[in-house]
Amino acid sequence: MSKAKMVWLFLSLSVVTAWMVMMRPVHAEEAAPQPAAPQAPAPQAAAAPAPKLPTYFTATSDDPKKPPAWPDPTGAATGVWATPAGDGKGDIPEKLSIQDVYDRMAHNLYGINFVWALVTGFLVMFMQAGFMFVETGLCRAKNASHTAAMNFLIYPLGGIAFFVYGFAIGWGNWWNGPVPPGWYASLGPGLSVLNSGLGIGAAVDAAGKATGAYTYGLIGTTGWFLNCVVDDVAVMVLFFFLMVFMDTTATIPTGAMAER
């Protein structure tokens, strides 16, 4: 081998060796600085007590001798009316405490949610007219009146059935469903009356008493005919919101059966 080839081979091996050294992975224990001597842990501050929530968030009563204020047909038991003030404290800002202001805000919160649920329900209700126009437009003229009548009749028939038993079976045990910590009903504590049903895998509390919740809920058993047990404004809003979806869904088969 000539001297030039030996020099070239030596340089090549030197470059490869230097590249391998530079590309060698560095382990975490080599790169990280040596930890300092462990210090004694600082004493932990005592946990702050859990805040006391208003009864309209927990659907309970301040007085254990009195039952909760729900069902509430007017909604006055949830927070405080702003004008005129339902708590008799008036509406003079400098005379109101933080709790008083919070009660008024919570009452407005539920009221706004009521309006939103009702407006969206009205929009879904008018989908029935849209279905009627679609179905009559896709059938022959001689069958248009029959198809339109079928769309109109499905609404009262479905609404009556939902009033009698549909709402109770589907939502009679709604309050006992699985919820995360800190959750509250956006339509207010009046929905706490929907608390009876049947299912598989009954849950119990620390004292071993049944809570009404189930691992697999099957049917509800509260709210037949929207009786006085569920005579709450929040339940009525929820009933209307669910009824319009139920009836609009029931209209789909009528389109499939048009001219059949």
Reported as a single tens digit per residue, the pLDDT across 53-85 is 788 887 888 787 888 888 999 888 888 877 666
In-domain check, residue 151? yes
Q: Say if residue 28's pLDDT is above 50.
A: no
What is the arithmetic mean of pLDDT over 166-192? 84
The verdict on whether omega for the bond into residue 93 sits within 30 degrees of 0, i.e. cis, is: no
- Give residue 12's pLDDT: 67
In the predicted model, what is the mean pLDDT of the chain? 82
Q: Say if residue 26's pLDDT is above 80.
A: no
- For 84: left if phi > 0, alpha if psi spans -120 to 50, otherwise beta; the answer is beta
pTM above 0.95, yes or no: no
In-domain check, residue 153? yes
Q: How many domains does the chain have?
A: 1
Domain range enclosing 241: 126-256
Residues whose CB is less than 8 angstroms from the CB of residue 27 and which lie 6 or more positions away in sequence, other chains included: none
Q: What residue spans of 140-214 are helical by DSSP H? A: 144-161, 167-171
- Give residue 158's pLDDT: 93
More confident residue, 69 or 243: 243
In-domain check, residue 156? yes
Q: Say if residue 227's pLDDT is above 50.
A: yes
- Give residue 253's pLDDT: 85
In-domain check, residue 221? yes
Q: Which residue, chain included where needed, has tokens 């919740």?
A: 213
In-domain check, residue 77? no
- Whole-angstrom distance, CA of residue 260 vs CA of residue 257: 5
In-domain check, residue 56? no
More confident residue, 199 or 178: 199
In-domain check, residue 181? yes
